[in-house]
A and B are shown apart, each in its own frame.
Chain A
């Protein structure tokens, strides 16, 4: 082995490997996080389904679909605006990328506010973590756990969108960072697609 084959650290250049699956490290890290988080949500939803299936007279407290339909629409639309932000960033249009990222954050805030409004309505009706007026107390615990975990993800995502958006505009972050954040945001949207039917639509009072 010639001297030229050695790096300054003394390692052979032949042993140097590229990032796994030839994708950037940050993106791979986000995907691994998403896979792990998928398991967390899946475990929560399976546990919820287990309890619901094994509990006679499971509460059906949702009189209508307006609020959850609106929340779904807002979150799906935020995924689209996130994509627009990424496309603008890839095209080098910083102002548009920043604008779309902030619109996505605003939609995330709207979703969170709708969610909190729904929670407050249920709490007003007497629902807590351990009891509710409709039946088993397990409903409150499972409902608040799953929707709370999702709401935490949305809130973290909104904070990340604002931070990354501002830093991208300032030149500290680039389009790759917007893409990595976009992956997280789409994942939050993806989880909601399972929460809605299992937690809301199967419990409609009709």
Chain B
């Protein structure tokens, strides 16, 4: 086996491992959907699993892990901070539970 072929087969092993992890995590989301827990708990658990899935996919499938650290930090800090800022909007939806024109 040549070095290139060895490298390729090693990489495929890692890809398959990540793929299986993602399948298991996706399966976990479906299991959570049938748990007898309230919606907010279900949402939190599903979102946590989705974040782990997204992290694995970005780091290994999109090869972010092997990019320069500076670029990894740029993507992570920029994306996560904007996503967190968006969560500010959620707080107002609790006000809507007690009444909003189009929620009735």
Q: Which A residues fall within an 8 A CB radius of B?
A: 21-23, 31, 35, 38-39, 42-43, 46-47, 49-51, 53-56, 65, 69, 72-73, 76-77, 79-80, 83-84, 87-88, 90-92, 136, 138, 179, 182-183, 186-187, 189-190, 193-194, 196-198, 201-202, 204, 206
Determine the residue in chain B with the shortest Cβ distance to A45: B86
| Known contacts A80-B16, A197-B50; A91/B4 CB under 8 A | yes
* Interfacial chain A residues near B83, Cβ < 8 Å: 38, 42
The answer to whether B15 touches A46, judged by C-beta atoms less than 8 angstroms apart, is no
CA distance in complex: A21, B74 (Å) = 9
Interface size range of chain B in the complex: 35 or more
Chain A residues with CB under 8 Å of B8's CB are: 87-88, 90-91
Interface of A is mostly: helix
A27 to B5, CA, bound (A): 25
CB of A138 within 8 A of CB of B102, answer: yes
Residues of A within 8 A of B90 (CB): 46, 49-50, 53
**Bound state CA distance, A92 and B2, in angstroms?**
13
How many angstroms from the CA of A53 to the CA of B98 in the assembled complex?
A: 11
CB distance from B22 to the nearest CB of A (A): 6
Known: A76-B23, A204-B33. 20 other contacts (CB 8 A): A21-B67, A21-B70, A21-B71, A23-B71, A39-B86, A42-B86, A54-B95, A54-B96, A69-B30, A76-B19, A76-B22, A83-B61, A84-B12, A90-B8, A91-B7, A136-B102, A182-B62, A189-B57, A193-B26, A201-B29
